[in-house]
Every structure is written in C-alpha cells, then in structure tokens.
Structure 1
Amino acid sequence: MRAAYHGGASLQQRAERAYFGMFAVSPTRQGDGVGRQVLAHAEEHARAGWAATHLEMTVIRQRTDLIAYYERRGYRDTRQLSPFPYGDERFGIPQRDDLEFTLLEKPLT
C-alpha cells in the first residue's frame, strides 16, 4: 500500500525566530487548502512549541504570485535580498540569470 502525500515543509528553530522552507504540496491537492493547513501548523508549532516571535522564509523575488499568497496570510516582504545559488544543481537549473531571494516574515503574536 502506498501512503498518500499531501504536503510538507521544513521548520527550523533559530533563537527567537523560526524558519519555514522546503514547502511543497502535491499538485493534485493544490487549491484544496492543504498548503494553508501546513503553514498554519508550522506557525502554531513555532509559536507554542518554541516560543518563536516570528516565522521567516525566503522566496524567489520574481515569484510575485507566491509572495502575494504569503502576504494574504500575514507575511510581509522585508526587501532583504540574498543571491540565488547559481551553479548548485541541488536548487535546479535556472532558466534566467536574474534570480534572487527575498525574506518574508510574520509576527507570531
């Protein structure tokens, strides 16, 4: 029997903040609220379990649709940019040369 995969993420404790990354939702379940549930669970765990004051994540700056998704969920774009790791194929083979990450954060009060 094969287990159903719906979504997952990595959550790391970083002092009074937590970092959310490696977020993925099965394509067949996107739009069903699975992503919202995974994100809400991560926020609650960081707040209640670790007493984190903020949840942070980095998103490719050019993914304005994705940034808008997180903004609708209370995140704000700090405009703190970091470079895309060109040459490291663990992150895929980029199709453009202007990629960079922006830091999003949300207070967990």
Structure 2
Amino acid sequence: MSNGIRNLIMSIATALFAITLFDGVYNFKELINPGISHVYNAIGTNIEPNMVTLVVFDWRGYDTLGEALILVTAVVIVLLIFGRGITSYKFDNETKEKNEPDKKYNIEGDKK
C-alpha cells in the first residue's frame, strides 16, 4: 500500500474518531443521571441542619480521608524505597582476597 493511500485512510479514521468524540461530549449531558442528589435534596435537611454541612460532612469528609490516605501511602513508599540510608556496608577488608596487599591512601589520594 502506498504512503498516500495509507495517509488518506488514517486521515479518514482520525476524522471519524474526532467527530464521534465531539458528538459524544456534546450529547453527554443527556446521559447524566443526577441520582443521589435528588435524594439528598429531598431529605437532606432531615439528616443535617443545612445543605452546607450535609455536603461537607457526607462527601467532602470521605474525599479528605482519601487524600490523607494517599499522602500517608506515598510517605510510606518513599521511606521503603529510600530507607534511612546505608544500613549495611561491606568494608574493603571483608571483600579483599588473602594475597591482595593493603591499599592505603594519604590525604591527596596517592598510594603510599
């Protein structure tokens, strides 16, 4: 298949996808069912003294709890990944072979 035909097919497919996407977004308001909000509007004042406290304590409390849980989880993961620094370190003496001479360095880094 030549590049021209392939580009034409891709252009048509992209245009159809864009038209379908914009049509779905434009008509999305018809698909939305408010659901629970009608229930809370009808009996909300019987549950809480006013609608503001109803929203704050019923829905925003769960949202804040979720955000706090995400932050705590992130801190725990960072601590697990980075740890508290080097907890174990093998010194050169432990990994050195028996016949290998000691390598000592002075302040400038030259071998003695």
How would you bin the TM-score normalised by the shorter chain?
Answer: under 0.3
More strand by share: 1
Larger Rg: 2
Q: Which has the higher contact order (CA 8 A, sep 6+)?
A: 1
TM-score, L = length of structure 2: 0.19
Q: TM-score, length-normalised on structure 1?
A: 0.19
More helix by share: 2
